[in-house]
Structure 1
Amino acid sequence: MHIELPEKRYYSIGEVAEAFDVNTSLIRFWEKEFDVLQPKKNAKGNRKFTPQDIKHLELIYHLVKERGFTLEGAKIHLKENKQKTLDRFEIIRKLESIKVELQKIKDQL
């Protein structure tokens, strides 16, 4: 899954949920379940997600929705292999973007 968000310092929970095509309640649930998600909250209590939070959400989404991990399995996987998982995830995303570009080139030929 490729997430389309404009470059900003902070994203609202609505923007994040729309980008991931999930409900805001799922984002709030993952925030409670995964320690790596620490969005900032303003005086009203509205969550503001940083680009780093978005990367963590992408990884959680990948593990839970795309690879079929249970929540407990994803938590354990993140705790035990966090850096290794992040590195692999970045490589996968780069390869996916390269694939999209190659498909565009192929279609133009």
Structure 2
Amino acid sequence: MQVSIPDKLYFKIGEVAQLTGVKPHVLRYWESEFRQIRPVKSQGKQRLYRRDDIEFVLNLKDILYGQGYTIAGAKKILAKQAGSEKAASSVNPEEAVELLRDIRRDLLQLRASLEP
């Protein structure tokens, strides 16, 4: 099933739950089990997920619920996926610099949105 993720930087846990069909308490549990899910937290301790987090949750949901793997099995599958992605992608320095600029811009936007 293809999920349409809105075009915005950050999503609250309730929005992620609605988009993915995964309950908030399950998302919080998955955060403790999978280091790939690391939402930033606002000053009010609100979890703010990025698009990559949502895509990871959707992939994880398919592995666990669709394919029937356990948490341990999912970790092995994800490790294999990460290994094949690293082998397939060789990042050149210019792309790395651009990625860091994007991250910096996102962080500055987040800081500006959190300031009173």
TM-score, scaled to structure 2: 0.67
**What is residue 21 of structure 1 aligned with on the other side?**
21
Q: Kindly report which structure 2 residues correspond to 1:17-96, keeping only aligned pairs within 5 A, or say none.
A: 17-84=17-84
Task: Tell me how far 1:56 sits from its aligned partner.
Answer: 1.1
Q: Which amino acid aligns with 1:41?
A: K
- Tell me, in whole angstroms, the C-alpha distance in 2 between the residues paired with 1:84 and 1:17: 29
Alpha-carbon deviations, 1:2-56, whole Å to 9, x = none? Answer: 2233111001100000111221101111111101111110111111000111111
Task: Tell me how far 1:62 sits from its aligned partner.
Answer: 1.2
- Tell me, in whole angstroms, the C-alpha distance in 2 between the residues paired with 1:19 and 1:54: 8
Contact 2:5/2:51 (8 A) holds in 1 = no
Structure 1, unpaired ranges of 5+: 86-109
- Tell me, in whole angstroms, the C-alpha distance in 1 between the residues paired with 2:81 and 2:50: 22
How many pairs does the alignment contain? 85
The percentage of counterpart residues that share the same residue type is: 31
Task: Tell me how far 1:76 sits from its aligned partner.
Answer: 1.6
- Tell me, in whole angstroms, the C-alpha distance in 2 between the residues paired with 1:57 and 1:84: 19
TM-score, scaled to structure 1: 0.71
Task: Tell me how far 1:84 sits from its aligned partner.
Answer: 3.7
Q: Which amino acid aligns with 2:78?
A: L
Task: Tell me how far 1:83 sits from its aligned partner.
Answer: 4.9
Contact 2:38/2:53 (8 A) holds in 1 = yes
- Tell me, in whole angstroms, the C-alpha distance in 2 between the residues paired with 1:58 and 1:21: 9
- Tell me, in whole angstroms, the C-alpha distance in 1 between the residues paired with 2:66 and 2:56: 14
